[in-house]
Structure 1
């Protein structure tokens, strides 16, 4: 092949979109984590699914959702098997592996149970001294705040905790009597109740455990710094256009105003 023909071929390859590498963002999701992630008729729905899709489109990427439990998803992010996870609380320990884009909502984590069958709990530290709830489900790998981490050092409290690996198991564990209380965002309980989940109305928030913004956590292993900056700028643009707030309002009006961008790369 002559040098002129070769140059023309390379010029055409550079211009042709069919030779452009596809951008795919692999997002972890639980099968049933309403109102944020719901698999219905083989289609993913929910607040964080919709927001992630919007963000991926804005940066010219396709979103691919992988059905995987929370703890395994965190490990996959670190090893390079996934690109993002939602509902990630910021901490210094996590910033080595994750870039935090968002927040996508303000999470209120409560101790939830049936007040008719449980001893009264006034504050979280009661569980280290006088109140024994028997079994409390906590999600492995979840962050419930500094106070909770400190109180876990108390033997009376620690023996009440039951570690589980999947978000979707919590209501089932309550129903089966395998645990007496769970740690969960109150918006999840509201969804259960408003959508007629079996016996959901008998469960109530008992004590606020932790409240903080939660983010999309993007992998620093699989995504370059320029891509992370692009995602950060795209989130800011979508927020300023009002698109993110509109999605939040469709799912939970009470937190829609608590979403000022504060990404941390």
Structure 2
């Protein structure tokens, strides 16, 4: 009888331990719509990434608490443990110092968008090597300063002359408008965001997407090492079901 009670107690302890791997609430920052991944309508926040995370946390008995927060502060607050999770993240060694990464749940494809007049003046930018050569000499880009677009672009944006010309803009729509008004020569766009943008009757006949992929990367969830345990991340990884890979527009390498 005593051995049976001991076994039941042990099973109860193990079940309780498994339930306690993850906190009851995950704080996640967001700032604005970025369809189809996050869509903000008044007090409603939805989107493919948001619903994936909500479903994932429900499976471990946790809730998602959305925290309005400028993107410029999100990574710092994750590092300090003031938020618990960030979505749509590319892996870098620097980020891995303060965050756990989930397994990849989708693929992101980044392309370059320019005004057609620029393309007529500099047709060589239709070639990836030609774009980088010209961008280093004279082009002014508008891109998310917290985004990671591959090592080749990281090296480009560290050049002093490129730093002077660059426009650090977090909002994708604002970056697009800068190119449309020719206050910026190019911007980096997520291919799925652009397709969604065009599907909503927002045709942009004055703009052109360059016919190569700037950077393609696996996309992860990031968890603060200060508030989320490795065991919790392991449990979430076992439950995480990736979204279908994204497809780029005319993804031809030159």
What TM-score range do you get, normalising by the shorter chain?
A: 0.7 to 0.9
**Residue of structure 2 equivalent to 1:94:** 95
| Structure-2 separation of matches of 1:101 and 1:158 | 32
Report the 3-state secondary structure (helix = DSSP H, G, I; strand = E; otherwise coil) of the residue aligned with 1:232.
helix
* Structure 1 residue corresponding to 2:195, chosen from 177, 190, 194: 190
| Per-residue deviation, 1:155 | 4.5
2:130 matched to 1:129?
A: no
**1:223/1:153 Cα in 2 relative to 1: closer, same or farther (>3 Å)?**
closer
User: Structure 2: which 5+ runs fail to align?
Assistant: 1-19, 249-254
Q: What CA deviation, in whole Å up to 9, does each residue of 1:146-179 have, x standing for no partner?
A: 1112223445544442212344532343344432
Asked if 2 retains the 8 angstrom alpha-carbon contact of 1:26 and 1:63, the reply is yes
**Residue of structure 2 equivalent to 1:76:** 77
Q: Single out whichever of 201-210 and 70-79 deviates more from structure 2.
A: 201-210
| Structure-2 separation of matches of 1:134 and 1:37 | 31
* Structure 2 residue corresponding to 1:139, chosen from 134, 144, 157: 144
2:172 matched to 1:171?
A: no
> What is the TM-score when the length of structure 2 is the normalising length?
0.77
Asked if 2 retains the 8 angstrom alpha-carbon contact of 1:125 and 1:151, the reply is no
| Structure-2 separation of matches of 1:173 and 1:217 | 30
**Residue of structure 1 equivalent to 2:232:** 227
| Per-residue deviation, 1:133 | 6.4
Asked if 2 retains the 8 angstrom alpha-carbon contact of 1:105 and 1:214, the reply is yes
User: Structure 1: which 5+ runs fail to align?
Assistant: 1-19, 256-265
**Residue of structure 1 equivalent to 2:208:** 204
What is the count of residue pairs matched by the alignment?
Answer: 223
User: Alpha carbon RMSD of aligned pairs, Å?
Assistant: 2.6
**1:190/1:196 Cα in 2 relative to 1: closer, same or farther (>3 Å)?**
same
Q: What CA deviation, in whole Å up to 9, does each residue of 1:125-149 have, x standing for no partner?
A: 4345346664211111211111112
Asked if 2 retains the 8 angstrom alpha-carbon contact of 1:103 and 1:213, the reply is yes
| Structure-1 separation of matches of 2:48 and 2:205 | 23
| Structure-2 separation of matches of 1:128 and 1:232 | 37
**Residue of structure 1 equivalent to 2:38:** 37
Asked if 1 retains the 8 angstrom alpha-carbon contact of 2:80 and 2:226, the reply is yes
| Structure-1 separation of matches of 2:208 and 2:196 | 12
Asked if 1 retains the 8 angstrom alpha-carbon contact of 2:28 and 2:86, the reply is yes
Report the 3-state secondary structure (helix = DSSP H, G, I; strand = E; otherwise coil) of the residue aligned with 2:146.
coil
